[in-house]
């Protein structure tokens, strides 16, 4: 079975802190994604990566950065956390192609106080 693992399930951080959300997949997938989920807004794409060291901005990249130094790992970084970044963050991975399933991690619930 494909496994996408997010390092932290629940986090509470203070405003201004630097926050790292880690994601690891074990299926050698080319594509990896970070989404943010808020009630009534569905999933919004923050950043995605189609290969090692490659990254592209999604719909809401402001306040976030990412890193993909190894194929299996895709990290989301909040340089200076703010209360409006309190949300659920979902990491996903897949192979290239329209017919390939997107696999998700369990999600990371981040609260910024």
Partner 1 sequence: AQKITQTQPGMFVQEKEAVTLDCTYDTSDPSYGLFWYKQPSSGEMIFLIYQGSYDQQNATEGRYSLNFQKARKSANLVISASQLGDSAMYFCAMRGSGGSYIPTFGRGTSLIVHP
List of residues contacting partner 1 (CB under 8 A): 31, 33, 35, 40-43, 45, 48, 58, 88, 90, 92, 94, 96-107, 109
**CB nearer partner 1, residue 84 or residue 98:** 98
Minimum separation from the CB atom of position 52 to partner 1 (A): 17
Q: Which tokens hold the place of 69?
A: 């130094």
Minimum separation from the CB atom of position 54 to partner 1 (A): 13
**CB nearer partner 1, residue 63 or residue 107:** 107
């Amino acid at each position: 079975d494909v496994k996408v693992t997010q390092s932290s399930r629940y986090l509470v951080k203070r405003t201004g802190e630097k926050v790292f959300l880690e994601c690891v997949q074990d299926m050698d997938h080319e594509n990896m994604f970070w989404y943010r989920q808020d009630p009534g807004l569905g999933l919004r794409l923050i950043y995605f990566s189609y290969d090692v060291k490659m990254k592209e901005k999604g719909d809401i990249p402001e306040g976030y950065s990412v890193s993909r130094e190894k194929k299996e790992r895709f990290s989301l970084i909040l340089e200076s956390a703010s209360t409006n970044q309190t949300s659920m963050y979902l990491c996903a991975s897949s192979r290239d192609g329209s017919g390939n399933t997107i696999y998700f991690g369990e999600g990371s619930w981040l609260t910024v106080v």
